[in-house]
Structure 1
Amino acid sequence: MRDIAAETGVSIATVSRVLNDHVNVSARTRELVLQAVERHRRDDTPPGAVHVRCPYLLTDYFGLIVSSIAETLRLHGMRMVLDAGEASQRDDALSTLPDQPGIGSAILILPPEEGAQLLALSRTGFPFVVVDPRTPPPPDVAAVSAAHFAGARAVATHLVELGHRRVGVIAGPEEWLASDARAAGHHAAFAAAGVLPARQRIRHVEPTTDAGLRAGGELLDAADPPTALVCFNDKLAVGALRAARARGLRVPEDVSITGFDDIDLSRATTPALTTVRQPLAEMGRIAVTQLMRVLDGHRPEALHLELSTTLVVRDSTGPART
């Protein structure tokens, strides 16, 4: 009451009379006080929880991002509602978000929906941020991802410098933004060396270990097999390692293999994987920072942030065999 009185320039007694609906208060003063009361009510109401949607199994990749988001939201005093697992890949997931009780905003991790659906959600005024977008996000939607092109170019350049010219590519799904960016990075490095992977040495697969085993086996069984395999992620690279081992090939003496992500798995293989480190935890932290700015009414100056990646050279790459 004291704050409202100071804000409106009336006495505490007048504020009391308004709140108790006394008649001896002018209509203008009553309206002034009630508007101030409503502003204080909104300011004192805790913001709705942040809906964190990750429609995939919380493996080491997604688990690192979600854990970082949870820890950062806690620092901001925000509550989190987690919707994870493949069961959350339902058609109406985005359209129903603004109507969910107690939910005030969202962080969407690799959303499977098309950009048009994200744009439709944005036009409702519902605040959200996208982490690792699957497709190019609409211009006015805040998004955070890694520098896929630069990371892929770095690892391909590493192979080129080791003398590799026959390189097999085990790429991710063709419709993914990260797949396109990494393919462009690989091609940029190979083109600079005067070579490009032949079409028959490229496989587009789901990013799983089993898929890496199958695709790696197909490439290594070719009449003119590649001297190196560059993989979309570490799990595919682990499958490729298994394929090489099953054929009696030594890594890296007979074939070099690279991954992408630098999850714990990359350090547990024999040999340890050469890979590209994505700042997964930082992606989660930056997503929360972007969301806080949106909730504060600011339009982030850089809507689409790409965080730098780092080439990590380990034992799975070596000079091309002659």
Structure 2
Amino acid sequence: MPKAVRMADIARKVGVSTVTVSKALADKDGVSEEIRAKIKETAQEMGYQQGAASRRARTGSTGNIGILVAARFVHDGANSFYWELYQRVVSRLLTANYYGILELLPEETERQLALPHVLQDGKIDGLIVIGQVSSDYRRMLQEKMLVPTVFLDTYDSGDTGCSVISDGYYGMYLVTSYVLARGHRKVHFVGTLDATSSISDRYFGYCRAMMEHGLSVTPEMVLPDRDEHGSLRFALPQELPSAYVCNCDMTAYQLISQLKERGLQVPADISVAGFDDFRVPYISVPEITTYAVNMSGMARTCVDALQQQIHHQHPVAGIKIVSGHLVTRDSVRQL
């Protein structure tokens, strides 16, 4: 890894003091325009990158973006969808010359409506909130609006700000339509409807596909899949449909495991489809039919919207929807 260029290195090459280099890069007085230009040119040639303190002194910007994720969404660590989405956001921030500072939001902090630490010390230019937080906590962040903020993979009916989400409604409509096109008619949905806005959207996409095929959806056709803390936990009913569509691939994977424990084979005895196309479909046997969420597109749209707010190009509000695509594999059979 190449050694970082220091101000002293620039000073040595130009033939001035380190103090002079510091003043020149911060656009402070006490340096002639000729020397200032020479120092900046040399710094650029040598690949010098200014730290947050220097950047703030020069532009009023810290170069940092806070990234807030509810702790309940990353309990699976590296296997979490939101951990992967966080990494995509950080990568996009780096291309925009920003650093991402991650903070996990404990449930207690959320209940107390306490500000996250990243908003308490004035060291960030903007905030990205990944995943669902309570309506009260979201409202508190929007009312205080200490920095420009974008909500990623979540939205709320009372929003006045900017949200970026995947196309959960149309995506699950496509997944369910595919399962129905394979001849299934007794199709149930797996997901806790009030857990997140994303799951609700996917449920309504499922309902639309069922309705278009002349099929009614009743309460017993919905299997909740998580507890009040967001942990996946569900038990199969005795009477099973011919197919399940699941709100996420992790749920689909656990469902397949439970069906195998009952002595059933997927898709020979029962078909299963998921949503996200996040890692799990590739380790499952059989591989899972799913809807691929465009995480890179969501990260790009989110960071671009935040930059527009930071630079006051124009106000950013409303919901931005990023579409993905259907991925058909081996977990749904033709009847």
- Structure 2-normalised TM-score? 0.74
Match of 1:286 in 2: 301
Deviation at 1:139, TM superposition (A): 4.0
Question: How far apart are 1:99 and its partner, in Å?
Answer: 3.3
Decide whether the 8 Å contact of 1:50 with 1:79 is kept in 2: yes
Shift of 1:80: 2.0
Contact 1:107 1:129 in 2 (8 A): yes
Contact 1:69 1:284 in 2 (8 A): yes
- Paired position in structure 2 for 1:132: 153
Check whether the contact 1:148–1:309 (CA below 8 A) recurs between aligned residues. no
Q: Specify every segment of 5 or more residues in structure 2 that has no aligned partner in the other structure, as ranges.
A: 1-28, 31-54
- Contact 2:168 / 2:201 at 8 angstroms: preserved in 1? yes
* Structure 1 match to 2:187: 167
> Is the Cα contact below 8 Å between 1:252 and 1:315 reproduced in 2?
yes
Residues 165-193 of structure 1: per-residue CA shift (max 9 Å, x gap): 11121113424211221111101101111
Q: For residue 228 of structure 1, report the CA deviation from its aligned partner.
A: 0.3
Q: Residue 254 of structure 1: which of 269, 281, 284 is its match? A: 269
TM norm structure 1:
0.77
Q: 1:88 to 1:108 in 2, by over 3 A?
A: farther
Q: Quote the Cα distance in structure 2 between the aligned partners of 1:248 and 1:170.
A: 20
Q: Distance in 1 between matches of 2:172 and 2:332?
A: 15
Q: 1:70 to 1:137 in 2, by over 3 A?
A: farther
Q: Which residue does 2:125 correspond to in 1?
A: 104
Which 4+ runs in 1 deviate beyond 6 A? none
Q: Distance in 1 between matches of 2:329 and 2:56?
A: 57
- How many residue pairs get aligned? The number is 275
Cα contact 2:308–2:316 (8 A) shared by 1: no
CA RMSD of aligned residues (A): 2.8
Contact 2:127 2:150 in 1 (8 A): yes
Identify unmatched segments of 5+ residues in structure 1.
Answer: 1-11, 14-39
Stretch of structure 1 that moved more, 242-251 or 306-315:
242-251
Q: Give the structure 1 partner of residue 260 of structure 2.
A: 245
* Alignment partners' CA distance in 1, 2:282 and 2:105: 26
Is the counterpart of residue 204 in structure 1 residue 219 in structure 2?
Answer: no
Matches within 5 A, 1:1-322: 44-47=59-62, 49-56=64-71, 57=74, 58=77, 59-84=79-104, 86=106, 89-90=109-110, 91-94=112-115, 98-114=119-135, 116-125=136-145, 126-133=147-154, 135-136=155-156, 138-206=158-226, 211=233, 214-215=234-235, 217-218=236-237, 221-222=238-239, 225-300=240-315, 303-320=318-335
Does the C-alpha gap of structure 1 residues 202 and 271 become closer, same or farther in structure 2, counting only changes over 3 Å? same
Structure of higher CA gyration radius: 1
Structure 2 residue identity aligned to 1:279: N
Worse-superposed segment, 276-285 or 298-307:
298-307
Amino acid at match of 1:265: V
